[in-house]
Structure 1
Amino acid sequence: MRILAYTLMPNHWHLLLYPREDTDMPDFVRWLSTTHAAKFRNKTKTVGEGHLYQGRYKSFVMDTDTHLLTVLKYIERNPVRAKLVVHPEDWEWGSAYRRICGTKKAQALLAVSPTPLPHHYRAWINGAEKSEELDELRKSVNKGIPFGAEEFLYRFDRGKKK
């Protein structure tokens, strides 16, 4: 599993994952959830079974064009929208911090994006998000529908088995 971006918030996570195989996503999320629950219970000395979080994870297919960058920016700016920090790179539990402030070794843990990041990444990640892009993205998240350009959505829909 390739991790393109992440933000660990006080009560939830955001992950931008790029699987190598179709089965990688559910397997990875199952492993991550189970491992995290076990470590959490061990650290807090609590006993229990099952999930720490309500509901199933949300996922959707996206185009690897500018739509991927919209998702990456959304994830990395989440602590700013939540008013936890002023700049994304100030949030130590996110990939923006790792990209800008992290060591080379820490930066290498993030996978190379199939869509190149903007050359002036720091200025871009600190720039405002477009409300219409956020609306479309939130629709994809909430409904679990693909996020991409019309041509991508058409090709994706045509490829589905009816």
Structure 2
Amino acid sequence: MPRQKRIAKGNIVYHVLNRANGRLRIFKKDDDFRAFEQILAEAAERFDMRICGYCIMSNHWHLVLWPRADGDLSAFMKWLTGTHSHRWHAAHRTVGIGHLYQGRYKSFPVQDDTYYLTLMRYVESNPLRAKLVKRSADYLWSSLANRLGKDSPLELSDGPMPLPRRWTKLVDGAADLPEDEIKTCIQRGRPFGDSDWTHQTAKALSLESSLRPRGRPRKTTPN
């Protein structure tokens, strides 16, 4: 059965994630991380993409994107993953070995209010929750470090609402994040927002199936 074509409307915030094939560690050296940031910067300029947040881990990455027009997200992601795969294989002399990524990227739309801020905290606290650092700001390969002055080719965009004061402290206070809900959104492509917005957005983007329980419906026993 052919895969369902994605509907990616403009002016909606999206969380995007992709993993390396077989969970291969594709970001080992600083040069690996820097190369991906450079490709992100090139992609942002090429497609006029607003990159509000990101975090690059050893075998996957998270992006918070805010495309301007319909179809921009798909075009951006196709160029980003294709270019990174090509350059990574060339740099590591593994051309022809196999796919770098496990498959299509995962994405879900995000309501542009406090849900957006919650998602940004989730993305930027990833290294802290993985126990790689004691403070989120100590991890170099994220939008938090970028925002705090790390030298990077990537210029971040403002999001649909400003980050609160003492943002770094809020990112570090990750214990209250709805991780299970966000992971469900990642796995199923479910919109992340309040109930009314979630249902309206699911209908507009043909994501109604993401709201339904998985598995076959239970058979009812006749009286």
Q: TM-score, normalised by structure 1?
A: 0.88
Aligned residue type for 1:96: L
Inter-CA distance 115–40: structure 2 relative to 1 (3 Å threshold): same
* Alignment match, 2:75: 27
- The answer to whether the aligner puts 1:109 opposite 2:155 as a matched pair is yes
In structure 1, how many angstroms separate the alpha carbons of the residues matched to 2:60 and 2:199? 32
Query: Which of 195, 200, 221 is the matching residue for 1:150?
Result: 195
Q: How does 1:50-129 map to 2 (within 5 A)?
A: 51-102=99-150, 106=152, 109-129=155-175
Distance 1:14 1:130, change over 3 A: same
Any unmatched runs of 5+ in structure 1? none
User: Aligned partners of 2:182, 2:104: CA distance in 1, in Å?
Assistant: 18
Deviations 1:119-142 (A, max 9, x none): 1112111113325x2222111111
Mark the CA change 1:160 to 1:80 in structure 2 (over 3 Å): closer, same or farther.
closer
Bigger-Rg structure (1/2): 2
Please give the per-residue CA displacement for 1:6-57, whole angstroms capped at 9, x wherever unaligned. Answer: 0110001110111111201111111111111111111112212763011211
Which aligned segments of 4 or more residues in structure 1 are displaced greater than 6 angstroms?
Answer: none
Give 2:95's match in structure 1, choosing from 26, 37, 47: 47
The answer to whether the 8 A contact 2:53-2:143 is kept is yes
SS of the residue 1:7 aligns to: strand
Give me the CA root mean square deviation. 2.1
Structure 1 distance, partners of 2:153, 2:168, is 14
**Displacement after TM superposition at 1:118 (Å):** 1.0
Asked if the contact 2:53/2:124 (under 8 Å) is kept, the reply is yes
Q: Which moved more, 1:49-58 or 1:112-121?
A: 49-58
Greater share of helix: 1
- Is the alpha carbon distance of 1:47 and 1:155 closer, same or farther for their aligned partners in structure 2, counting shifts above 3 Å? closer
Q: Does structure 2 conserve the Cα–Cα contact (< 8 Å) formed by 1:100 and 1:122? A: no
Identity of aligned residues (%): 40
Distance 1:39 1:157, change over 3 A: closer
Contact 1:89 1:101 in 2 (8 A): no
| 3-state SS of 2:198 partner | helix
TM superposition shift of 1:157: 4.3
Q: Which digits, 9 at most, give the CA deviation of each residue in 1:42-78, with x for residues without a partner? A: 1112212763011211101110011111111111111
Corresponding residue number in structure 1 for 2:182: 137
**In the alignment, is the contact (CA less than 8 A) between 1:6 and 1:13 conserved in 2?**
yes
Specify the code of the residue in structure 2 equivalent to 1:37: S
